[in-house]
Structure 1
């Protein structure tokens, strides 16, 4: 029997990723629309994190692929050429720092943005993640808005598209930018 959600027992989603229920709680500013084929690799040993993070990313317009350990994640990164990688630090077998070093040595993934994640409270993890070549670090739980802010900062806007400022009463609208006739 499933336990009902109450204010003193937040949903699993909210416990891991924080954030509110309204559009304005989730997104304080305009968000860009990703390029159509933008792939993000999630490497985390928690099936729950992979499922919830994957769902959020797909709802944001990204394609996702995932691996439950570092070795599989490295192989997937080399074969699938993701545009960005989320990499957990604590993994079975090879840890995230060792995986990061391997990914940075490989020509195919050397320049791929990598965001390391951890639920540990130690600030030293963030220091080591950046020292070993991570592009960013997120401490779990993290709010949805922060997640998309970090992605957009690393990947930039999709080609010739972006979303309008969010209005609580209006759906998000995609605006296409016409090609510049001078460049044609």
Structure 2
């Protein structure tokens, strides 16, 4: 599957900007959401090829949003990569159990992220 459109989910305007700059500079179309609720709505309406999901957000957190997207008939085939400050092994395992395909700890290395997207 070729990745063209990426949904970046993060409550931090700075993180969204950094990710968007990196990804658009690499030729990807980027849409953003600042909450779990908005991420679910945009994933259903925009059907991105990939979701980059933060965990720590007000309201619906990234674990809950990941679980919802991975179990929904419309969005279950969209891969999700968690990008978070939560770096414990138990956090990583929990993220993958919620349906994430990969797990990166912030600050995310841009080249590592682009390599994971390309893979």
TM-score by length of 1: 0.62
Give the equivalent residue in structure 2 for 1:87.
53
Give the equivalent residue in structure 2 for 1:122.
88
Query: Which whole-Å deviations, capped at 9, do the CAs of 1:29-66 have from their partners, x for residues lacking one?
Result: xxxxxx99811000100000000100100000000000
Q: Give, in angstroms, the shift of residue 91 of structure 1.
A: 0.9
Aligned: 1:68 with 2:31: no
Take 1:77 and 1:62, find their aligned partners in 2: how far apart are those partners?
A: 16
TM-score by length of 2: 0.94
* 37 and 50 in structure 1: CA distance in 2 versus 1, 3 angstrom threshold: same
Aligned: 1:78 with 2:44: yes
Q: What residue ranges of structure 1 are gaps of 5+ in the alignment?
A: 1-34, 154-184
Larger Rg belongs to: 1
Structure 1 residue ranges (4+ consecutive) displaced by more than 3 angstroms after TM superposition: none
CA RMSD of aligned residues (A): 1.6
Structure 2 SS opposite 1:85: strand
Aligned: 1:137 with 2:103: yes
Q: Which moved more, 1:37-46 or 1:93-102?
A: 37-46
Take 1:47 and 1:121, find their aligned partners in 2: how far apart are those partners?
A: 21
How many pairs are equivalent?
119
Structure 1 SS opposite 2:45: helix
- In 2, are the aligned partners of 1:37 and 1:63 still within 8 Å (CA)? no
More helix by share: 2
Query: Which whole-Å deviations, capped at 9, do the CAs of 1:54-83 have from their partners, x for residues lacking one?
Result: 010000000000010010111000000000
Q: What residue ranges of structure 2 are gaps of 5+ in the alignment?
A: none
